[in-house]
Amino acid sequence: MICFWAYKYVTKEDTEALHSPGHPELTTVPKTEAATAGKKRKANSKEVSAGIKTKRYEERLTVYEVCKIIQAKSITTRPELVCLATAQERERKLCLAQFIVSRGHKAVDEALAPSKEFSTAVSLMGRCKKTRVQILQEAKEGEGV
């Protein structure tokens, strides 16, 4: 195979390359039975490994899915999430535990932060729409009661 590529390089540079009498025809890549069998094996192994990877990917949780779980269970800290994961693990649900272990602190924090933001968004928007005077009046009424 190396000879073929060397030949292609030489003939690209030298258009009048001399050939010995009995020189094989090298205008196309030569194919051998071993090379063909190797290509078939590679293709089969890629198909098998691609099937396994697809299956694993379907089982994994995304950060969004974990964020939804956090919101549904009203979780605010990482230890609470780990406790939920261990409880689910006892029930043979391994997805959340695998997410925490394989993705690490950063991914868990990426799931915790937006869930807190989503849960407080409504109250923050209500407060943003009020004027300062209205907020002060509500605070005064809260003290008097």
Residue 98's domain spans which residues? 61-145
Residue 97 lies in a domain: yes
Residue 50 lies in a domain: no
Please provide the DSSP assignment of 2-47 as one string. HHHHHHHHHHHH-TT----TTPPP-SS----HHHHHHHHHHHHHHH
Residue 3 lies in a domain: no
- Summarize pLDDT for 38-90 with one digit per residue, the tens: 888 888 876 656 555 545 545 688 888 888 889 888 888 889 999 999 998 88
Spatial separation of the C-alpha atoms in residues 134 and 145, rounded to whole Å: 17
**Token pair listed for 9:** 């390089």
Spatial separation of the C-alpha atoms in residues 76 and 109, rounded to whole Å: 10
Residue 145 has a pLDDT of 45
**Based on the structure, what is the number of domains in the chain?**
1
Q: From the centroid of its chain, how far is CA 89?
A: 22
pTM: 0.47
Residue 34 lies in a domain: no
- Summarize pLDDT for 100-142 with one digit per residue, the tens: 888 888 888 888 888 888 878 877 887 788 888 988 888 888 8
Residue 65 lies in a domain: yes
